[in-house]
Chain A
Amino acid sequence: MSVLHDFFTVFLQPQLFLLVGLGTFAGVYVGAIPGLSVTMAVSILISFTFSWDVYPAISLMIGIYMGGVYGGSRTAILLNIPGAPSAIATAMDGYPMAKRGEAGTAIGVTTVMSFFGGLVGIAVLALAAPFVSDFALKFQPRDYMLLAVLGILLVGSLSSGSLIKGIFSGALGIGIGAVGMDPLTFTQRFTFDIPLLTQGISFIAVMIGMFGVSEALLQLHNIDLPAVRQKIDKIVPSFGTVKKHLPLSLQTSTIGVLIGALPGTGGDIAALMAYDHAKRVTKNPERKFGEGAIEGLVAPETANNAAVGGAFIPMMTLGIPGDAVTAIMIGALFIHGLNPGPMLMIDQPHMFWFIVGALVTANFFMLLFGLTGIKLFTKIVEIPRAFLIPLIMLLSIVGAYAVNNSITDVYWMLGFGVFGYFMRHYGYPLGPVILGVILSRLLDDNWRRAIISEREDLGRFFGGIFSSPLSTVLLITVVLIFVSQTPLWTKAKARLFKKEATE
């Protein structure tokens, strides 16, 4: 019974309940502004809540985390500027919906699906945390590398139009990610002795520039067009819509939990992988992907919110952070006199159930704040462009500066914005660039770790892959997905089916 008591701590103490609510509310807005990240908000809160008790401090942080992950979708849908990297995939179908005047519907679906994904993540955390963390620990450098290769293959589904241009964009992203001091050997790469480059190029600055500034520049072309009127009568999706997408959202939530639980990968990769998955399994979408498919919203939003519960799994069971935010929370627990680690769940089980309870509460608050205030938000899109464009520029500059309090990042952001504008102009997709930057280090570091571990011997490397069931499955998946994207496969499939038909 003590489990139930700990679980309901948040509900029984009005103060904690309100703090979770306050945190979630703030999180939704912090998350919506590109550059203001949950990680930043939570680390500021550590100093701010230093003298508090541990429960109120954690309540506030969990609220911000949950709200923030969801909040990134707002600006992605309304302005085509993802508020956070995990909302990149959301922009791909969310923004086209807003352009058709369906921003309200898009936000409604996003909210309900984020809520659903969040619940799945929390349920897995509550019921199966030790199993999932054991599984996550099994991932070796070579498995992370294969996962990154799997991610690179998403280029295909992120680029509408020319695949070659998509591959070019992806490669550019990987190149951008490699600039700076190599974290494993401290060697300078692509820095040409320019001090500015030694810190590397801030990935958030690239994202804000490519999406935000290039969008603003592009909109200058039709500055005189009247803004799209938004229909906001049907915000909450019907039960039928939710039911229809239930199987897909369960699958994508599972992807979210697992990717979130892996130390080293987080909601951003989870959301992109889920989007790719949705594109693969949805046979007949009502609308094409990239033009406002509901499935294109359901998948990334369930996945990135499910990743929150996932990220808590290694944190609670092993004291290992699942992502940047949980890393800071581990520090917070430590400052508040707890010893986060494998013994936490044994010594202080009430902490575990309290956190689960707080997450559930935050999830409900997210649903509440997500579904209210939509009318006000959708008004943003109806602002005349002459006002909207300067607003986007301002938001982009503030966001890029806020990441590291560095003016250099603002220059990068503006530079990539102009570059992104020309890329769009010539039909180069921007999604793969961001994908490349996200995956660059995952791929690079883990490939090197994997091959160094095998004494730089390729034979031993493949021997290692085939001796582990996990690596073998990952390799087979990589090969299958790759082959299925080549013309060879389409031909073979056509011939195969023809034969069947004639027989």
Chain B
Amino acid sequence: MKRFAFGAVSALVLAATGALAADYPAKEIQGIIQWGAGGSTDTVMRSVTPHAEEVLGGTVVMQNMTGGVGAIALNHVANQDADGYSLLMGAENPLLYKVMGLGEKDYTDFTPINLLARGTPVLVANPDAPFDDYAGLMKHIAENPGEVRFGATGPGGLPSVITAMIETVEGDLDVISVPYDGDGPALTALQGGAIDVMPAVLGAAIEGIRAGNMKVLAIIDNAKNEKLPEAPIVTDFNAAYDGFLPWGPFFGVFVKNGTPDDVVAKLSDAYAQAATNADFVELMDNRGFTMMNISGAEAQDFLTKWQQNTTWLLQDAGLTKASPEDFGIARPAK
């Protein structure tokens, strides 16, 4: 009887917190970070969230939950109640889970709170490499088939998408692809000469570039980057890239679908304000990230397009395990 009473009371309390979204947040919010401590996603989330907490007037307890290219964290949040007390803090990877056979859920099961920023990919090389720009690299690969070592981070990672893009534009590349478990270790290997070329996000490579420990072959974008105004952009070498660009990884905060609208609105507002905080903006700029700060339909639209473009690019390069078509992902209009 006692137990029943306890259950009934707690059910009441639960129902009450659900109904009174005006009181949100009435308890601690859990923020599940898809990637490990110290990585890009982790630092972005840990530096924006305290500003959002101030607006919300509540606490967000952040926790890193790694594994399965972020799928463990995504599934964890998907299994919680849609009450806005579990946030998923992640990067772009889940949009590729379905076609890469890594999971059955992706961001279509979630509502974006805020897409904070996006990164620009850049092609870097060891400073001693016998080529100095993108054109030189292509020539060198043609003359030395099967000799140039490209760093990779596994199927669906940024290097695999960039490599697929290059192969779509230039035709198949005869290079060796050496897998690392993240762009950090791969860029370390690049500086030590274990690999020659690495497609990486600008934010991870920028300090190494500034110090001259690696050189930029091309920025994978169709506009000059103000962080590296001298560096050539890839469309200067081959205009065919224009159709795929701009492309880049991004960081976002999500809640499970079905979360009450006013809770979503409250969270969106908090993160939108946090993302304009001067300290945060400067931090992102220093690291070469481009602020987006979008939410609602605009964010949803961005996610849909990103998924269409990237999954079909990988599909055409033969890197997927299942066709995007199987999941109703339409081929992007050319």
Could you tell me which A residues sit within 8 Å of B by CB distance?
A: 39, 42-43, 46-47, 50-51, 137-141, 180-181, 183-186, 198-200, 263-264, 314, 318-321, 324, 327-331, 334-335, 337, 339-344, 346, 404-405, 445, 448-449, 452-453, 455
Contact = CB atoms under 8 A, between A and B. Distances in A.
25 contacts: A43-B38, A46-B37, A46-B46, A47-B46, A140-B192, A180-B67, A181-B67, A181-B68, A186-B69, A186-B102, A263-B188, A264-B185, A318-B191, A319-B208, A321-B38, A328-B37, A329-B38, A331-B42, A331-B43, A340-B207, A341-B210, A341-B211, A448-B179, A452-B178, A455-B176
Contact of A405 (B62, B63, B176): B63
B50 interface: yes
Nearest to A198: B68
B142 interface: no
A194 to B, nearest CB: 14
Nearest to A452: B178
Contacts of A186: 69, 100, 102, 154-156
A277 B69 CA distance: 38
Contact of A343 (B47, B72, B207, B282): B207
A406 to B, nearest CB: 9
A337 B194 contact: no
Nearest to B146: A455
B181 interface: yes
A288 to B, nearest CB: 41
A184 B38 contact: no
Contacts, number: 133
Contacts of A340: 207
B39 interface: yes
Contact of A327 (B38, B63, B69, B102): B38
Given A200-B67, A337-B286, 16 more contacts: A42-B37, A43-B38, A141-B194, A186-B154, A198-B68, A199-B67, A263-B188, A320-B184, A329-B38, A331-B43, A337-B279, A341-B206, A342-B211, A343-B210, A453-B194, A455-B176
A318 B185 CA distance: 12
Contacts of B180: 184, 449
Contacts of A47: 46, 49-50, 62
B105 interface: no
Interface residues of B, number: 51
B215 to A, nearest CB: 14
Contact of B179 (A46, A341, A452): A452
Contact of B213 (A185, A318, A327, A404): A318
Interface of B: 36-39, 42-43, 46-47, 49-50, 62-65, 67-69, 72, 100, 102, 146, 149, 154-156, 176-181, 184-185, 188-189, 191-195, 206-208, 210-211, 213, 279, 282-283, 286-287
Contacts of A139: 192
Nearest to A141: B194
Given A137-B192, A186-B154, A319-B207, A342 B50 contact: no
Listed from nearest, the 7 A-B pairs whose CB atoms lie closest are A341-B207, A342-B211, A327-B38, A184-B179, A43-B37, A331-B38, A137-B192
A183 B46 contact: no
A22 B146 CA distance: 56
B193 A334 contact: no
Could you say which of A184, A186, A314, A321 has the most chain B C-beta atoms within 10 Å of its C-beta?
A: A186
A342 B184 CA distance: 14
B83 to A, nearest CB: 19
B278 to A, nearest CB: 11
Contacts of B189: 140-141
A296 B146 CA distance: 49
